[in-house]
Amino acid sequence: MALTEPLSEPLLKRPLDLAISLIMLLLSAPVTILIAIAIKLEDGSSVFYRQERWGRFGKKFMVLKFRTMIPDSDKKFGLKQAEENDHLITSVGRLLRATGLDELPQIINILRGEMSFVGPRALAVGELIFDKTGRRVEYEKTAGFQHRQVVRPGLTSLATIYIPKDSPAHRKFRYDLYYIRKLSFGLDLRLIALSFWISFRGKWETRQRKF
């Protein structure tokens, strides 16, 4: 499958994205205010964290997340994924990550059409990742990177749900490519339901089974 090869989405995928996004945007407004206050009270720094991500067909876009790390962590330690029990994560940040509430601002990206609720995880541009030997690798040079970009990235994904978040990139990409091959409206519904259940249980950060 070539990077530029068109791939038709299920007919109801985009309407489902819009419907859930609008509902969540309305229902989450009070929660959003409480989260913003909690982050501000903890260390007085910025509420949001801005990050550039890889989008469909390699197009880059910006996302906002609620900040879960200490202020200026990227400048001090480089852009990298948080590890288990990472000391850079704030107290409020741990709760947000466990429930997935740090991702709420990305609803805007779904409404814009830059993301979908389900799809390969939107990867951070320039993120530091390492293989099992500790050698630095790049997303762009990892097998499957281009093929996974024929669809819009998702707020949740098959890989996010079924394997630990700190699994190596090539393993995550295998799950992403499997999702693309099996792409269907029914599969999206199942993964959305599982994602809400994991958020309700506060299990997004566990390295074991999430549901």
Contact between residue 69 and residue 89 where contact means Cβ atoms under 8 Å apart:
yes
One-letter amino acid at 152 equals: R
Question: What residues does 154 pair with on adjacent strands?
Answer: 116, 121
- Other C-beta atoms closer than 10 Å to the C-beta of 144 total 19
3-state secondary structure at position 72: coil
pTM of the model: 0.91
| Nearest partner of 149 among 120, 109, 183, judged by Cα | 120
Q: What are 199's two structure tokens?
A: 């958020």
Cα dist from 40 to 33, 35, 93, 205, whole Å:
11, 9, 12, 23
Residues near 36 by beta carbon (within 8 Å), at least 6 away in sequence? 47, 66
Residue 127: the pLDDT is 87
d(CA 67, CA 51): 11
Residue 5: the pLDDT is 58
Gap between the terminal Cα atoms of the chain = 32
Distance of CA 192 to the CA centre of its chain: 13
Residue pLDDT, tens place only, 46-63: 999 999 999 999 999 999
Listed as ranges, residues in the chain with pLDDT below 50 are 1-4
